[in-house]
Chain A
Amino acid sequence: MSFEPKITLFSCHYASQQSCAEKGKELQQLGFPTTITLVRVPCTGKVQVTTLLQAFEDGADGVYVVGCPVESCHNVKGSVRAAKKVTAVKKALEELDVESGRIEMFHLPRGLHPEFVAAGVTMDKKIRTLGPSPFQS
C-alpha cells in the first residue's frame, strides 16, 4: 500500500504570505504537496520544543519550520531561535533512535517565491523515503 505522509509545517507569517494568495489555491497550483498541513505562526521564534514534539505526538511523519532568512528576520532573532529549537528536537529524536531528518528548518524570504514550494517538495520527498513515523502505534 502506498504511503501518504502526514507533514506539519510551522511557517512564520511573513514567509508564508503566499499561502493566502488566491484563497490558498495558488500554492496548490504551484505544486505545493497536499501532504503538508500549514500552521501559520506570528513568528517562528515563538515555536517551542513542546510544540514540535506535539506535532509528532499528533501523528506527523515529518515536521518542518519555515522562518525568515537569518540576517533579515522580521523579529531580528526569531528564526535563529526557531532553528535552535529544531536542532534540539533533532537531538531528542536521535536519543529515541529516530531519524533526525524527520524535522528540518528552512530560512526563506517573504512573499511569493518558488523556494517555499521547493522546501515543501523536498520535505515530502524525504518523508516518503523515510517512511511512516515510528511513533505510530
Chain B
Amino acid sequence: MIVAERKPMAEILEMVKDCSKVLVLACRGCVTVCSAGGEREAAALASLIRLGMKKQGKTIQVIEGSLVRQCDKEYIDAIDTWDGQYDAIVSTACGVGVNFIANLRKTTMVYPALNTTFFGGSAEQGIWTEQCAGCGNCVLHLTGGLCPVARCAKSLMNGPCGGSVGGRCEINKQTECIWQSIYDRLGSFGRGSQMETIAPIRDWSTAGHGGPRKTVRDDLTIS
C-alpha cells in the first residue's frame, strides 16, 4: 500500500487560513489501511482544524466526506455531492489523490493533509515499513525477493557495502542490512553463488529519472 502520515497542524492551518469553509476529504484506500487518511483520521483532522482556527480567534466551517478512492476519475466525480459547501478541499489521500482532484476539478482548490512517504506494508500493528521503491525495473528474482533499491540505505545493486555490523545497517542500526538478509536467504535455498554475479550499471530511467511515468494497456483503453 501507499503509506503516508499527517502533516504538522501548523502547515495545514496555514493552508486554510483564509478559508471560511473546508471539506476534509478522506480516502478509503491505502491511507485508510495505514491509518493516515481514512474517515477516522479525517474526523480527527476536522476537529483539529476547528480547534486550531478557534485558537486563532477565527471560525471555520469544516465538513467531512470520503471517497472510495481518490485515484480514479469515477470516484472523483462524486465530489459533486459537496458542491457549494466549501472554499477548498483538504484531502487526506496520498499525493496521487491530491493530484487527481487538481487534474479533474479545474476550479477547486485542493490542499494535501498528508506527507506521502513510501510503498510499504504493516510489519505489526501500528508499524509500517518501506518495501518497494517503485523503480520500474524489478530485481527481486535475483535477490531472494528482498529489495535492495528500497531497503538498502544506499540502494546498492552489488552489496553489501562493507559497513554493516551484525546484520545491521551502518546508516541506521535499527535497520537490517538487506544485503546480509539477501545473502542469508539465497544461501538457505542453496543459491548463494548468485551473489557472485556482478549486476551491471543500472538504468534508472524507469525509476522516474526520465520524467513522469505512464502505463498504457491497449487492451483496456476504450478510445
Residues of A within 8 A of B (CB): 48-50, 53-54, 56-57, 92, 95-98, 134-137
Contact = CB atoms under 8 A, between A and B. Distances in A.
A98 B55 contact: yes
Contacts of A137: 54, 57, 59
A104 to B, nearest CB: 18
Contacts of B9: 92, 95-96
Given A50-B47, A96-B9, A137-B59, 16 more contacts: A48-B40, A49-B40, A50-B40, A50-B43, A53-B47, A54-B47, A56-B51, A57-B50, A57-B51, A92-B48, A95-B10, A97-B55, A98-B55, A134-B55, A135-B55, A137-B54
Interface residues of B, number: 15
Interface in B1-59: 8-10, 40, 43-44, 47-48, 50-52, 54-55, 57, 59
A53 B51 contact: yes
A116 to B, nearest CB: 28
Given A49-B44, A50-B40, A53-B44, A96 B59 contact: no
Secondary structure at the B interface, as helix, strand, loop or mixed, is helix
10 contacts: A48-B40, A49-B44, A50-B44, A50-B47, A53-B48, A56-B51, A57-B51, A96-B52, A96-B55, A98-B55
A102 to B, nearest CB: 11
A95 B50 CA distance: 14
Contacts of B43: 50
Interface of B: 8-10, 40, 43-44, 47-48, 50-52, 54-55, 57, 59
A94 to B, nearest CB: 9
B48 A135 contact: no
Of residues B43, B48, B59, which shows the largest number of chain A Cβ atoms within 10 Å of its Cβ?
Answer: B48
A82 B44 CA distance: 16
B54 A135 contact: yes
Nearest to B8: A95
Nearest to A56: B51
Nearest to B52: A96
Given A137-B57, A137-B59, A96 B51 contact: yes
A57 B48 CA distance: 9
A50 B45 CA distance: 9
Nearest to A84: B126
A135 to B, nearest CB: 5
Contacts of B8: 95
Contacts of B55: 96-98, 134-135
Contacts of A57: 47, 50-51
Contacts of A54: 47
Give the top 5 A-B pairs by smallest Cβ distance, nearest first: A53-B47, A95-B9, A50-B43, A49-B44, A135-B54
